[in-house]
């Protein structure tokens, strides 16, 4: 039971004021005399062990109400509100603020941001199997918004390159952009990255005696921890933590909190008191000099797909000083426009800049323009943060290649219908899963199949002709009554192109209907579905043998429908999701056309319950199903 929830209001106010008094008193207290004597003259692992012996055996508080009550003295803002690093806007106005006790989460909560504050294990408790004393150690537990706490979940802290969710103060969740890892991560705002880095250095030191086993408790712990007591972290993660520590120095907030936690636990975070200990423990020999040599065999070739991706490969640099990683910089203009990086100023991944860890020896640049030449240079480097040291001496390895033209001839599944409406007005929308060349022709008809291989004629045909290069992920829409003059749409047979409310079918194809049609996708809506016996009609159709149901075609009994699930991911997975009517909004009533915004990439995050017949996963693709989400595969999972 939380004392702050059960005390009378007057006593609760006195307790809170006492917490404030303690905060200001201990903030001026500083480090006790002789506290770090055991660390004198030590460095490297010996220093870490000395610090462990200084800060171990702390006073352990209980989880409830101990941690809640501690927040009153460890985490008040100057205005007395909760200091929530997931909602605070340093120097600005936060979107919301919490009052101690009053806005504390109870059972549940956090359905929306700004609902309540919770106890955030910044070093996720699943990483250490939620055991004591780690699970109540205040040096890594902070009061934070419950909704954003759930965003963080048990994902590593790191730099986000592909954003899938953003909090109101700018915390991000998405695909990692930090060298050495490509999974889902959570990125706090810049002003608090150092706070969290020093909390992680504390955890590796305070629990130096047990941390070597933690990697086995959680897949995300395994991505961060290397199964040792020292250095404890994987190289990619240690480099990032050191960078965050250097870029966001110790603040007055941290100093005051260190003193307040000391009053409760009787131990301190050494890396707040002595920021120089970070380098002394994990970089005892000082920064490495620049790499001795450049890479060899640096080449560029077309990737997959060849019209929008280029793949680079190389042989790692060798010599007396080997690199920690490589910065690859590109240009669509020429080699002379590629600017050499500057020592001490890290370049983040993004656009035509990409950081790759040593030992990987390849990378792919995607989302490029078709029929375009791109130029690349590769720079090896050592260290991280403000000690990063690039090798820029000439000759810097360089390579170029040209993407191919986009696609004009489509295969089944290269586009998908994502909207169909037969009620006031008729509508259709489709998405491209491949980049289309200018001039690509796609026809749409509501003609039926009178057998699995024979078509019916007599219905209208609507034609789409791409006027420019159409990127993958583009949504194209048409509706009855649209002014098509001067657009990419035209009627190739008759101005009459309409869907029957009693049920109809729709096919996308290339070629000539009835002669050499090549089907791309199909849909049946508003009736009992595809027929299997008896005569076909204008509104009843056999299912064509050239398509596969719930792979590149679908059916539902309602008059209207539109796809309503995730819109970011690989073409393979999105195509499977789109082809299943369970993932659509369906109704006999009129539906508003959604404002879709699709993004095609090699990574798919399933964050809504979904059903697919088959789940095809291509080489280099990542599919992540978020905790608590159900992905039902009724057929097969195909991994290439």
pLDDT-based confidence at residue 22 (cuts at 50, 70, 90): very low
Chain segment 351-399, per-residue pLDDT in tens: 899 888 777 788 899 878 888 999 999 999 988 777 889 999 999 999 9
Report which listed range, 128-142, 286-300, 320-334, 624-638, is most confident: 128-142
Q: If 0-12 CB within 10 Å is exposed, 13-18 middle and 19+ buried, where does residue 329 land?
A: buried
**How many domains does one find in the chain?**
3
The yes-or-no verdict on residue 211 having pLDDT over 90 is yes
Chain segment 404-452, per-residue pLDDT in tens: 887 788 999 999 999 999 998 999 999 999 889 888 999 999 999 999 9
**CA gap 386, 170 in Å, rounded:** 24
* Total-model pTM: 0.58
Chain segment 166-208, per-residue pLDDT in tens: 999 999 999 888 877 889 999 999 999 999 999 999 999 999 9
Chain segment 451-501, per-residue pLDDT in tens: 999 999 989 999 999 988 898 999 999 999 888 877 899 887 766 789 999
Question: Residue 490's beta-bridge partner residues?
Answer: 463
Q: Are residues 269 and 304 in the same domain?
A: no
Q: Are residues 426 and 571 in the same domain?
A: yes
Structural domain that includes position 517: 415-595
Identify whether 620 is part of a domain: no
Q: What is the mean pLDDT of the chain?
A: 89
Q: Are residues 151 and 108 in the same domain?
A: yes
Tokens of 256: 């005051």
Q: Are residues 396 and 508 in the same domain?
A: no
Chain segment 213-235, per-residue pLDDT in tens: 999 999 999 999 999 999 999 98
**CA gap 198, 271 in Å, rounded:** 6
Yes or no: say if 195 and 85 are a contact pair by the CB < 8 Å rule. Answer: yes
Residue 360: per-residue pLDDT: 77
For residue 329, what is the enclosing H or E element? strand 325-331
Q: Are residues 145 and 171 in the same domain?
A: yes
Yes or no: say if 562 and 429 are a contact pair by the CB < 8 Å rule. Answer: yes
Chain segment 26-62, per-residue pLDDT in tens: 334 689 999 999 999 999 999 999 999 999 999 999 9
Yes or no: say if 552 and 418 are a contact pair by the CB < 8 Å rule. Answer: no
Q: Are residues 321 and 210 in the same domain?
A: no
Q: Measuring CA to CA, which residue among 307, 248, 239 is closest to residue 275?
A: 248
Chain segment 503-521, per-residue pLDDT in tens: 999 999 999 999 999 999 9
Q: Are residues 340 and 223 in the same domain?
A: no
Q: Measuring CA to CA, which residue among 335, 495, 331, 508 is closest to residue 410?
A: 508
Chain segment 599-612, per-residue pLDDT in tens: 988 888 898 999 99
Identify whether 621 is part of a domain: no
SS3 content of the chain, % helix, strand, coil (to 5): 25, 25, 50
Half-sphere exposure of 261 (CA within 13 A, CB side): 25
Query: CA 26, 30, 36 angle in degrees (round to 5)?
Result: 135
End-to-end CA distance of the chain: 53
Q: Are residues 192 and 331 in the same domain?
A: no
Identify whether 386 is part of a domain: yes
Q: Measuring CA to CA, which residue among 324, 338, 336, 296 is closest to residue 389?
A: 324
Identify whether 211 is part of a domain: yes
Q: Are residues 423 and 453 in the same domain?
A: yes
Torsion of CA 205, 209, 212, 216, to 10 degrees: -110
554/5: higher pLDDT: 554
Query: CA 32, 37, 40 angle in degrees (round to 5)?
Result: 135
Yes or no: say if 169 and 86 are a contact pair by the CB < 8 Å rule. Answer: yes
The yes-or-no verdict on residue 106 having pLDDT over 80 is yes
Identify whether 468 is part of a domain: yes
Identify whether 373 is part of a domain: yes
Half-sphere exposure of 543 (CA within 13 A, CB side): 17
Yes or no: say if 168 and 87 are a contact pair by the CB < 8 Å rule. Answer: yes
Identify whether 194 is part of a domain: yes
The residue written with tokens 């004021």 in the block is 17
Of 402, 427, 454, the last residue of a domain is: 402
Q: Are residues 178 and 327 in the same domain?
A: no
Question: Measured between alpha carbons, how far is residue 101 from residues 7, 16, 117, 145, 277 in Å?
Answer: 11, 10, 9, 13, 36
Q: Are strands 518-525 and 475-479 parallel, antiparallel or unpaired?
A: unpaired
Yes or no: say if 167 and 151 are a contact pair by the CB < 8 Å rule. Answer: yes
Sequential DSSP letters for 26-90: HHTT-SPTTTTGGGTT--HHHHHHHHHHHH-SPPPPPIIIIIHHHHHHHSB-TTSSB--TTT--T
Q: Are residues 98 and 121 in the same domain?
A: yes
Of 232, 257, 282, the last residue of a domain is: 282
Residue 97: per-residue pLDDT: 96
Tokens of 136: 């109540």
Tokens of 419: 């909207």
The yes-or-no verdict on residue 5 having pLDDT over 60 is no
Q: Are residues 146 and 63 in the same domain?
A: yes
Report which listed range, 246-250, 337-341, 354-358, is most confident: 337-341
**CA gap 638, 615 in Å, rounded:** 6
Instruction: Please list, residue by residue across 621-630, b when 16 or more beta carbons sit within 10 angstroms of its beta carbon and e when fewer do.
Output: bbbbeeeeee
For residue 622, what is the enclosing H or E element? strand 622-625
Q: Measuring CA to CA, which residue among 551, 295, 604 is closest to residue 411?
A: 551
3-state SS class at 390: strand
Identify whether 616 is part of a domain: no
Question: Measured between alpha carbons, how far is residue 331 from residues 140, 222, 334, 335, 376 in Å?
Answer: 42, 36, 6, 7, 6
Instruction: Please list, residue by residue across 574-613, b when 16 or more beta carbons sit within 10 angstroms of its beta carbon and e when fewer do.
Output: bbbbbbbbbbbbbeeeebeeeebebebbbbbbbbeebbbb
Of 369, 402, 435, the last residue of a domain is: 402
């Amino acid at each position: 039971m939380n004392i702050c929830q059960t005390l009378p209001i007057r006593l609760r106010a006195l307790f809170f004021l006492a917490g404030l008094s303690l905060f200001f008193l201990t903030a001026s207290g500083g480090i006790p005399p002789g506290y770090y004597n055991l660390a004198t003259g030590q460095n490297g692992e010996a220093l870490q062990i000395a610090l462990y012996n200084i800060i171990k055996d702390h006073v352990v508080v209980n989880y409830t109400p101990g941690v809640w009550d501690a927040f009153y003295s460890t985490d008040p803002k100057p205005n007395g509100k909760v200091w929530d690093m997931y909602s605070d806007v340093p120097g600005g106005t936060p979107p919301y603020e919490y009052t101690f006790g009053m806005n504390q989460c109870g059972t549940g909560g956090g359905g929306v941001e700004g609902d309540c504050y919770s106890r955030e294990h910044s070093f996720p408790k699943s990483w250490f199997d939620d055991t004591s004393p780690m699970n109540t150690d205040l040096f890594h537990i902070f009061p934070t918004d419950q909704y954003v706490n759930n965003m963080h979940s048990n994902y590593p802290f790191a730099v986000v390159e592909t954003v899938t969710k953003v909090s109101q103060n700018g915390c991000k969740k998405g695909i990692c952009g930090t060298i050495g890892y490509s999974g889902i991560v959570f990125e706090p705002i810049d002003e608090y990255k150092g706070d969290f880095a020093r909390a992680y250095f504390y955890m590796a030191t305070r629990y130096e005696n047990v941390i070597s086993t933690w990697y086995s408790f959680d897949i995300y712990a395994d991505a961060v921890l290397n199964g040792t007591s020292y250095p404890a972290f994987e190289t990619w993660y240690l480099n990032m933590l050191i960078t965050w520590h250097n870029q966001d120095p110790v603040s007055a907030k941290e100093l005051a909190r260190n003193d307040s936690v000391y009053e409760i636990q009787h131990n301190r975070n050494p890396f707040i008191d002595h920021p120089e200990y970070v380098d002394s423990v994990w970089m005892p020999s000082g920064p490495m000099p620049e790499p001795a040599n450049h890479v060899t065999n640096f080449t560029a070739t077309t990737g997959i797909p060849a019209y929008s991706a280029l793949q680079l490969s190389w042989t790692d640099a060798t010599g007396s000083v080997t690199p920690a990683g490589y910065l690859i910089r590109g240009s669509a203009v020429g080699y002379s426009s590629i600017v050499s990086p500057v020592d001490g100023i890290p370049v983040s991944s993004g656009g035509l800049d990409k950081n790759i860890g040593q030992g990987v020896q390849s990378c792919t640049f995607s989302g490029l323009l078709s029929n375009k030449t791109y130029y690349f240079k590769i720079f090896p480097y050592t260290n991280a943060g403000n000690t990063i040291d690039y090798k820029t001496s000439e000759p810097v390895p360089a390579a170029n290649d040209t993407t191919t033209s986009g696609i004009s001839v489509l295969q089944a599944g290269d586009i998908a219908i994502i909207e169909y409406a037969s009620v006031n007005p008729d509508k259709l929308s489709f998405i491209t899963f491949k980049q289309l060349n200018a001039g690509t022709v796609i026809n749409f008809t509501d003609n039926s199949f009178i057998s699995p291989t024979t078509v019916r004629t007599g219905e209208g045909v609507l034609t789409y002709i791409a006027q420019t290069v159409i990127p993958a992920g583009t949504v194209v829409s048409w509706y009855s009554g649209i002014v098509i003059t001067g657009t990419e749409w035209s009627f190739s047979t008759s101005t009459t192109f309409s869907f029957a409310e009693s049920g109809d079918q729709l096919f996308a194809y290339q070629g000539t209907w009835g002669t050499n049609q090549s089907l791309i996708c199909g849909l049946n809506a508003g009736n009992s579905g595809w027929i299997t016996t008896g005569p076909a009609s204008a509104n009843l159709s056999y299912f064509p043998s050239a398509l596969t149901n719930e792979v590149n075609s679908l059916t539902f009994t309602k008059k209207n429908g539109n796809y309503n699930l995730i819109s970011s991911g690989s073409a393979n997975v999105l195509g499977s999701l789109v082809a299943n009517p369970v993932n659509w909004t369906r109704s006999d009533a009129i539906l508003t056309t959604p404002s879709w915004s699709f993004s095609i990439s090699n990574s798919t995050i399933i964050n809504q319950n979904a059903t697919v017949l088959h789940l095809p996963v291509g080489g280099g693709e990542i599919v992540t199903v978020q905790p608590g989400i159900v992905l039902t595969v009724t057929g097969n999972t195909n991994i290439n």
